[in-house]
Structure 1
Amino acid sequence: MSLTAAAKAMRGKYDGKDMGVFGVTTDTRSVKAGELFVALKGPNFDGHNFVSEAANAGAVAAVVSRSINIDLPMVEVEDTRIALGDLAATWRRQLKGPLIGVTGSNGKTTVKEMIASIMGLHQQGLVTQGNLNNDIGVPQTLLRMSKDDKFAIIEMGMNHTGEIYYLTSMAKPTIAVITNASEAHLEGLGSIEAVARAKGEIFAGLPSDGIAIINADDEFAPLWKEMAEGRQVITFGIEQSADVSCDYELRPDCSLIHLTTKQGEVDMRLSILGKHNVLNAMAASAASIAAGATLNDVKAGLEKLRAVSGRLETLDGINGATIIDDTYNANPASVAAGIEVLRNSGGETILVLGDMAELGDAATMIHQRVGELAKRYEITRLFTLGKLAENASNGYGKGARHYKDAQLLIEDLIDCLNSDVTVLVKGSRLMKMETVVEGISQRKRS
């Protein structure tokens, strides 16, 4: 793309000499020669202060919202964050193949990785790295698109109404997946129905011949079908009748799945654990088939997939214990899913729970409810860390231990470990529960 074309896409002002742009970056630490530097501004940072560093690193020009006295071509825009999105929306148009957008309260990253494993068997594609799923991460992902990419899988996250609408308007998916709606982000949205409506905004970006992939097991499936506004709908589920469904058997080390679709049936072995991941596999199967994958592709792609780091990842623990690292993040639905995996593991079971964030006024009640669930599922012991998680200990009752210090928790937990013990570690990112995993496992995570 030329600099003048980029300026036009961003609705920016540029009167200088035209030149080629060979990439876009927002981080001066990773600027490569010939790239366009976009000076983003946030509550605690301002990229405008680093334009000179970008120039020294080889940036061909900078996108700014205020004048800067530096010898570097500048594209002036009103808002650099919006400009980044506008540029990404223009760049996205080069993709001729399917673009699959994925959102939901739980499972979106796992479903994204499942689809990528299936779709990537025979061709190159663009896939969201990590969880770069917000109004900065999505455009950054789209701007990595190359002419060799035959498909794209874009994860979309949110914590307020309108965010998914903005992202889907930028990415323009041809296939859009909603995994589910749960009590995540209640702090910003107030109710699960509001969360569901916010997730349903993803369908606004679909063309008239686009395909909506909807969880038939979710109570908000009727709402999402309505929000799909007449577009083709493919449902997936394991409890309700659906276009893509299965029979399954949960085992301590895998799930055996008999997948049923309109295209036929196939048996597979899923190595990532839990009933919820069986449902995630149904979502990925539906999306991949809609994008042109065969049943053999679905089987091969799902069977080769291994757990994403920090998402029900099984590790060897001290004294022969089994550690299930599910520390990537936590909300009520994902904690409940993790507890279900733990109860099916056999032997003595220990849940280590840190605070769940963004639950608003319902936080105390929800944490207590998680403790009650752990007791009802006969989890042998509960260790909690954090002010909110103490309510889970209260809900569990006798046998629970609450800690204010992670190191003390680790020391006491090690005393409980042996070859008959399975430990699930779970908590929101802010709790850094991976430190507990590192303290009780044989493998240190980088």
Structure 2
Amino acid sequence: MVAWGDSVPVLQVQDEESALFALGEAARAELEQTGAHVVGVTGTVGKTTTVAMLAHALAACGPTGQTRASANLPLGIAWNLASLPEGVRYAVLEMAVGSMARNTALARPEVAVFTNLGAAHLEYHHSVEEVARKKARIFEGMPAHGVAVLNRDMECWGIVAQAAHARGLRVVNYGTHAESDVRLLWHDAASGRLGACVHGAERELRVGAPGRHMVLNALAVLAVAGALGCDTAPLAEALGTFQPVAGRGALWRMRWSDGRQLTVLDEAYNANPVSMAAALDLAVALCPPGARLVLVLGDMLELGTEAEGYHARLLKRVAGLGAPSVVLTGPLMASAMLLPHWPEACRVVHSPGAEQVAALLERELRDGDFVLVKGSAGTQLSQVVERMRALGVPTEGARA
């Protein structure tokens, strides 16, 4: 150990990467010694939001740490383990399909959550079935008493459930399926209230974040709570105050300097067919009566050889929504926009990049517009949201 200046300690190592892994492994060993619980979260959709919701809810039961910066590959997991606050009782870690064997060897989760499976990462893994098998390797690092919490409604559930059973894990299912251990009974979108059957007992609670996908995330939280033996009452209460994170469903209300008031549904962090469908459903549900719905959609990347087909099917659905204004960006959207029969009342334009999209919106958005912004991270649509927010000031209830 050497001193850097007068107050900052510096540990000199021969190799930074090896040192970071060693720090992560040491931190995980300390969690083991203190009896802390580690929850790993994977899936093609909803990992980061589910991590945030789990951490928010579990904090009602004890000190909790979580993945930061979506760092979900081995180095990121090691960094997050080493960066956990001292004395945590729960650690919630996001775990990506890439290098899953290394990820799970580091994290060694007691509970593994599958949020959903669908078309994503196909450029590298070729099929949803292959993605399911590779993500199921999360079970390899789990203890004998581990619990797999699975979305019973997800594609390729059977592949994942079989892998969990093969490891001798207890499987807890959640969703709308009749075989779900934590099953949705009803949901009132206006109030956010829902009813669920939790291992045979009916519960009623409220989810602060809007959208059916958020309801399913809440069911996953209840399933994890049961797996960890937590009191579900404080967790259920905490779910009522959960709000989406930026880029993943945050709702921004703003007033521009010229007086235009706008609402932006910020889904700009990433996109694939499953998450795009959920975002469209949410935008339609949240758009107030009389407001103009504006859809700003970017390419869905990493879909492999079927990318054009996924975009064509998406825009066919978009055309059927009847939104009066659709702004597209990216080469895949440019090709696909020629295929649907767009309604006469729908104005569809394509802009080559985020900077041009932002300029277009600044010129053409109207007072009262409700704007969905959604695309893969590579389309840089998050910059569009930042530009829109920078043009004005938040209004009452700026973040819902």
Q: TM-score range by the shorter chain?
A: 0.7 to 0.9
* CA distance in 2 between partners of 1:380 and 1:240 (Å): 38
2:180 equivalent among 242, 247, 261: 242
Cα separation, partners in 2 of 1:403 and 1:125, compared to 1, 3 Å: same
Question: Does the alignment pair 1:306 with 2:243?
Answer: yes
SS, match of residue 365 in structure 2? coil
One-letter amino acid of the counterpart of residue 367, structure 1: H
Cα separation, partners in 2 of 1:425 and 1:396, compared to 1, 3 Å: farther
Cα separation, partners in 2 of 1:59 and 1:157, compared to 1, 3 Å: same
1:269 equivalent among 193, 203, 206: 206
User: Any residues of structure 2 matched to 1:66-85 within 5 Å, and which?
Assistant: none
1:192 equivalent among 128, 132, 138: 128
- Count of residues in Structure 1 that have an aligned counterpart in Structure 2: 380
Alpha carbons 2:187, 2:195 under 8 Å: kept: no
2:80 equivalent among 141, 160, 169: 141
2:349 equivalent among 386, 391, 401: 401
Alpha carbons 1:92, 1:171 under 8 Å: kept: no
Deviation at 1:433, TM superposition (A): 0.7
User: Any residues of structure 2 matched to 1:236-385 within 5 Å, and which?
Assistant: 236-251=174-189, 255-262=192-199, 264-317=201-254, 318=256, 319-346=260-287, 347-385=291-329
Cα separation, partners in 2 of 1:166 and 1:88, compared to 1, 3 Å: farther
Deviation at 1:267, TM superposition (A): 2.0
SS, match of residue 176 in structure 2? coil
* CA distance in 1 between partners of 2:333 and 2:178 (Å): 33
Question: Does the alignment pair 1:231 with 2:166?
Answer: no
One-letter amino acid of the counterpart of residue 172, structure 2: I
Deviation at 1:185, TM superposition (A): 0.6
Task: Determine what percentage of the aligned residue pairs are the same residue.
Answer: 29
Alpha carbons 1:88, 1:140 under 8 Å: kept: no
Cα separation, partners in 2 of 1:195 and 1:245, compared to 1, 3 Å: same
* CA distance in 1 between partners of 2:62 and 2:235 (Å): 14
Alpha carbons 1:95, 1:147 under 8 Å: kept: no
2:149 equivalent among 210, 213, 223: 213
* CA distance in 1 between partners of 2:156 and 2:75 (Å): 28
SS, match of residue 394 in structure 1? coil
SS, match of residue 61 in structure 1? coil
Deviation at 1:87, TM superposition (A): 4.7
One-letter amino acid of the counterpart of residue 13, structure 2: A
SS, match of residue 114 in structure 1? helix
Alpha carbons 1:85, 1:135 under 8 Å: kept: no
One-letter amino acid of the counterpart of residue 403, structure 1: S
Alpha carbons 1:315, 1:323 under 8 Å: kept: yes
Deviation at 1:324, TM superposition (A): 0.5
Deviation at 1:360, TM superposition (A): 1.8
CA offset digits 1:381-415 (Å, max 9, x no partner): 22111222213423444332111143443343345
Cα separation, partners in 2 of 1:152 and 1:408, compared to 1, 3 Å: closer
* CA distance in 1 between partners of 2:182 and 2:197 (Å): 6
One-letter amino acid of the counterpart of residue 170, structure 2: Q
* CA distance in 1 between partners of 2:31 and 2:232 (Å): 28
Cα separation, partners in 2 of 1:145 and 1:320, compared to 1, 3 Å: closer
CA offset digits 1:38-66 (Å, max 9, x no partner): xxxxxxxxxxxxxxx99x9632331429x
Question: Does the alignment pair 1:430 with 2:368?
Answer: no
Higher relative contact order (Cα pairs below 8 Å, separated by 6+ residues): 2
Partner of 2:42: 103
SS, match of residue 413 in structure 1? helix
2:110 equivalent among 163, 167, 174: 174
SS, match of residue 338 in structure 2? helix
> TM-score, with normalisation over the residues of structure 2?
0.86
One-letter amino acid of the counterpart of residue 413, structure 1: L
Question: Does the alignment pair 1:60 with 2:4?
Answer: no
Partner of 1:115: 54
* CA distance in 1 between partners of 2:20 and 2:85 (Å): 22
SS, match of residue 310 in structure 1? coil
Alpha carbons 2:296, 2:373 under 8 Å: kept: yes
> TM-score, with normalisation over the residues of structure 1?
0.78
Cα separation, partners in 2 of 1:242 and 1:102, compared to 1, 3 Å: same
User: Any residues of structure 2 matched to 1:42-57 within 5 Å, and which?
Assistant: none
SS, match of residue 194 in structure 1? helix
* CA distance in 2 between partners of 1:174 and 1:203 (Å): 9
* CA distance in 2 between partners of 1:410 and 1:250 (Å): 35
* CA distance in 1 between partners of 2:84 and 2:252 (Å): 35
Alpha carbons 2:66, 2:84 under 8 Å: kept: no
Deviation at 1:101, TM superposition (A): 0.8
Please identify, of 127-136 and 388-397, the stretch whose mean Cα deviation from structure 2 is larger: 388-397
